[in-house]
Structure 1
């Protein structure tokens, strides 16, 4: 099987161009839509780096994609809603969230289901 390098390179460059165009579109949209309330929420979530890591992990757990979380954070930074130190904690949390999600899949959760049910019942 022969590899068509021209097609591979054009597909790679085309995909990269669409990705960068999407990032620019998202950044422009965030700049237009961002109000003071969104800026305050982001500042609150990233005021403490530990809370930023938790926010990143939670966002990744909900979205099931650290890449989506990272792309959103990059959009926030390029839109001027966050600064780099704030973004670092969320990206770190996104990576931790991905690791935790993968670890949960690796565990045989069915073996511990009654423990989780008991903990949930007690918390309720």
Structure 2
């Protein structure tokens, strides 16, 4: 048995400097900037969200800008297997930290480790 839920809305930004995109999305969504440089290399920024909301993460990318979802889980392999049974495909296991998946519709999304201390009220339990 494992658990999962929608974790993060990731704004993939094809840009030179993520700070400009972060300022725009902060103002557009009415969410203060939590961290303009999460990993210290200019590749990720985060907006402030409440504990019962998905995280909002901005990611500097080389591909065209788009939005993707992260699903957090306490068992990444079990969740990937569950989603494969629904028609998703595993694309890559990145940095030993998350699965990039592709839905039957062609949308890319990620399966990540639990992102917050408590899973919260919107938790799914899978056998």
Relative to the length of structure 1, the TM-score reads: 0.21
Greater C-alpha Rg: 1
Q: Which has the higher contact order (CA 8 A, sep 6+)?
A: 2
